[in-house]
Amino acid sequence: MGISIAICELDSDESLCKKGKLTILKARLDDVSGYEAIADYDEVVPTAEARRLLGGEWEAFLKRNRIDGEGESFLLSKVKNEADSARLKDVARKEYSGWIDLSQLPPEEAEAVMKKAGEDNLMSEWNTIPLDETNEICARCVMSWDKGRGCIGNFGPENSQLPDIAKKYDCEIVASVPELAKSGKKLSPEEARRLSEECKVLREKLPEEGKGPARRYGGVVDRLETVADLCAAKGVRIYFL
């Protein structure tokens, strides 16, 4: 696996994604009891029940709705014929996805649900934006340090020799990148300034390591310096993952 360079983009009000990422729309719970009225669900039709209900019309039903009928159940939303859909409504059952619409809750209760769900089970406004639109937003964001591609960029493989080279020249932050990636420690803007200085040292010293290392790691050093300068200037933390 490789190591990536990332920033805490939400540290800055200049991040174009900040509002969207901080606007939480839904939270996913293992049990939606008590929240059924505002929980997302699918209407699922048991195949056996549908076949029993439709009887001799079963094959024609499958054909006109383009349903294969091989599974144990199918989604009612896949039934395109309105008359068929109405007939199957009574045998359909709700299967909850676990997602709760937080806009329907008082702020205090919404906060409690988010806490119960956990950070990994939250859906933000940013999550609902199509990928091509998020790419366009990132391309014009000042925090998109990797040539407009976003705020996460490549450092290199875990066995990169750059940290060992950095250690030779007392570049402590670059030398500790593998450990920083494991710990997830966030580097302060002041540490970002130090990282930028280390990049200047490495750019000067890499040719002494030979053409191979200079060519292989020159771009990495450039990326590190770019992101370090940005974080130092904008007061944003940097980390590796």
- Mean pLDDT across 179-183: 95
pLDDT of residue 1: 74
**CA dist., res. 5 & res. 192, Å (int):** 12
| Beta-bridge partner residues of 204 | none
Assess whether pLDDT exceeds 80 at residue 223: yes
- Helix (H) or strand (E) holding 45, with range, is strand 39-46
Stated pTM of the model: 0.78
169 burial level (CB within 10 Å; 0-12, 13-18, 19+): middle
How many C-alpha atoms does 15 have within 13 Å on its Cβ side? 22
- Mean pLDDT across 219-233: 95
Q: Read out DSSP for 83-136?
A: HHHHHHGGG-EEEEEEEEEGGGS-HHHHHHHHHHH-GGGEEETGGGS-HHHHHH
183 burial level (CB within 10 Å; 0-12, 13-18, 19+): exposed
How does pLDDT run across 162-171, given as a tens digit for each residue?
A: 999 999 999 9
Assess whether pLDDT exceeds 90 at residue 44: yes
